[in-house]
Amino acid sequence: EIKKKKTHCGKVFVEFRSEELLVLSPTASGTMCEILDEKKKKKDEKAREKELKKLKALEKAKKLEELKAKQEKGGTNASQKKKSHKRDDASEENPEDFVDPETPLGERKRLSSQMAKQYSPASVEKSWYAWWEKSDLFKADAKSSKPPFAIVLPPPNVTGVLHIGHALTVAIEDTLIRWKRMSGYNALWVPGLDHAGIATQTVVEKKLALKKLTRQDLTREEFLNEVWKWKDENACTILTQLRRLGASLDWSREVSSD
């Protein structure tokens, strides 16, 4: 139902309920219904286009997810097959085929003709350090014209053996001294031990207590012998540990706080 009808500049404005529509004058071609139908068609067409875009986007996202899942599954299977293949190869190895010939102490390591697929630290690292030490590869030359660089190993005390904290410090200092040595410095890394004094005495007294003894039950000489025995045993263990860590220390300059 037409509420209002007015003419302006040769055009007719018609108001239907709360909406105002512009309608061409009767002299122009077409009718009001045709104009309304055209507008509705355009609106419906835009709505369809928008809906199609949404559907395409959803379809594309779904395909991408399926592809990603397929790739991940395929990658996992391939990785598992590869690991399984490696395990099979390693299990088929004959350990005797990769045993290095016996190397005399201090000589360059004699290697096996084949290399094992699995890394064996015990066989790979065996004999190398003794040859390094005998060849004086870590020894600083007092007469060298190279710029000097020296550091001291914080001396571990003999109240116990080395732990992971010592290993960390040794690894850091070893990296530093080797870098300086390769950079053209006359590099010196001084090794040493600390007898720890009262701390060592306390440890030895605890050891005696396990035998229901005190230091007063021993003579002075006997007690000192127990302390030195403890010191020598632990010192030997510590020095062996340092060598097993591969520390490039100049052992000709080893010192102790005895």
CB 16 within 8 A of CB 2: yes
Mean per-residue pLDDT over the chain, rounded: 80
Choice between 80 and 126, residue whose per-residue pLDDT is larger: 126
pLDDT of residue 104: 74
The mean per-residue pLDDT over the stretch 118-147 comes to 86
pLDDT of residue 88: 56
pLDDT of residue 239: 94
pLDDT of residue 29: 44
Q: Which residues pair with 192 in a beta bridge?
A: 255
The answer to whether residue 122 sits within a structural domain is no
Give 97's pLDDT tier (boundaries 50, 70, 90). Answer: low
Q: What is the pLDDT of residues 49-88, one digit of tens each?
A: 888 888 888 888 888 888 888 888 776 665 666 665 555 5
Q: Radius of gyration of the chain from Cα atoms? A: 44
What single string gives the DSSP state of each residue in 140-173? PPTT--SPEEEEE--PPBTTS---HHHHHHHHHH
Domain extent for 46: 2-60
Same domain (yes/no): 50, 158: no
The answer to whether residue 83 sits within a structural domain is no
What's the structural domain count of the chain? 2
pLDDT of residue 20: 45
The answer to whether residue 127 sits within a structural domain is no
The answer to whether residue 109 sits within a structural domain is no
Pick the closest to residue 132 from 172, 169, 181, 180 (CA basis): 181
pLDDT of residue 3: 46
Q: What angle do CA 77, 82, 83 make, to 5 degrees?
A: 100
pLDDT of residue 55: 86
Q: What is the pLDDT of residues 168-225, one digit of tens each?
A: 999 999 999 999 999 999 999 999 999 878 888 899 999 999 989 999 999 999 999 9
Q: What is the pLDDT of residues 13-52, one digit of tens each?
A: 555 544 444 444 444 444 556 666 677 788 888 888 888 8
Last-in-domain residue among 60, 85, 105: 60
pLDDT of residue 140: 93
Q: For residue 17, which phi and psi values (nearest 5 degrees)?
A: 55, -115
Percent of the chain with pLDDT over 70: 74
Supply the CATH number for residue 146's domain.
Answer: 3.40.50.620
Pick the closest to residue 189 from 96, 237, 252 (CA basis): 252
d(CA 188, CA 109): 25
Tokens of 102: 């016996």
Last-in-domain residue among 60, 77, 92: 60
pLDDT of residue 184: 95
d(CA 13, CA 258): 114
| Residue 11 scores a pLDDT above 60 | no
pLDDT of residue 67: 84
Give 245's pLDDT tier (boundaries 50, 70, 90). Answer: very high
